[in-house]
Amino acid sequence: MAVPQEYHSKQRRLIMIVSLSVASLLLLGLTQQPVLPVVPETLSAVKQSVQQTFLPQPPRVGLQIGHLDPEEQPDELASLRYNTGGSAFGVNEVDINRSTAYMLKDMLEFEGIEVDLLPATMPANYHADLVIALHSDASPDVNRRGYKSAYFRYPRNKWEPELKKAIDQAYFFFSGLPDDDENVSGSMLEYYAFNRARYKHAVSRSTPAVIVEMGYISNEQDRDFLLDPVNPAYALKRGILTYLAERGRYTFDDN
């Protein structure tokens, strides 16, 4: 017996109605899903957790003690094996450099900063947040005095000028020494420990580095300042912390 055409029409309408009803229910369910409230504390905790997970290691500073153990220089720097630094009025430059470095190391470590004390021989491709090469001057002219600094003649990275600026400003402010920039030498501008293009034993190109001449041991006023290592160490510390803060690697305690 043949099924009437009317029956097929009713069946198609029923199927269409059922389909539309199911679709409406599904859509209603999707649009009425409960929305979880955003809890700022939760987001803050997650953000803090992520920051802690990817937080870099404590900042690291390299302090090169100028003229320390020059006899251990490698063959590529053999000409420097007898460069023991200056001396005047019974004071040796290397002793000033060393005492300042040890005092500065203690000050920086108190701030949670890791410090490497380095001799005249720089570790090959040494890497840190920054490097300061510590030196003190001597001159036949006992009236010459002051502080000066330099990065490599052509900055090896964009941060070296910023490092120099931070160190200089702090040193002048806390030391009261005059500016001796006019006596910056070629050996400072092409300091061997920063000359990665020529020497294996030099600071990494990506590590900002500055050489400082902290004052003249041949000048009475400068010498008195340098003989107490707290004086130059504190001035340098302030410059280093300022630079690290600018890089987001240190936060000054407002208390």
Residue 150 or residue 54, greater confidence: 150
- pLDDT at residue 13, rounded to an integer: 53
> Which band of pLDDT confidence, cut at 50, 70 and 90, is reported for residue 228?
very high
Given a cut of 90, whether residue 192 has pLDDT beyond it is yes
Return the pLDDT at 240. 98
Averaged confidence pLDDT in the chain = 85
User: Does residue 50 register a pLDDT over 50?
Assistant: no
- Give me the mean pLDDT over the 164-178 stretch: 98
Q: What is the pLDDT of residues 7-25, one digit of tens each?
A: 444 445 544 544 444 444 3
- The CATH code for residues 58-246 is 3.40.630.40
What residue ranges do the domains of the chain occupy? 58-246
First CA to last CA distance, the chain: 98
How crowded is residue 199: how many other Cβ atoms within 10 Å of its Cβ? 16
Q: Six-digit token pair at 25?
A: 């229910």
Q: Residue 182's pLDDT band (boundaries 50, 70, 90)?
A: very high
Cβ atoms of 62 and 128 within 8 Å: the answer is yes
Q: Under a CB-based contact definition with an 8 Å cutoff, are residues 174 and 237 in contact? A: no
- Give the confidence band of 52 by pLDDT, cuts at 50, 70, 90: very low
- For 82, 85, 201, the CA distances from 120, given in Å and listed in that order, are 11, 11, 10
> Could you tell me the pTM of the whole model?
0.78
Q: Residue 5 pLDDT more than 60?
A: no
What pLDDT, on the 0 to 100 scale, is given for residue 12?
52
What pLDDT does 57 receive? 86
Structure tokens at 56: 């870099």
> Taking 50 as the threshold, does the pLDDT of residue 207 lie above it?
yes
Digit-coded pLDDT (tens) for 75-121? 999 999 999 999 999 999 999 999 999 999 999 999 999 999 999 99
Write down the pLDDT at residue 254. 58
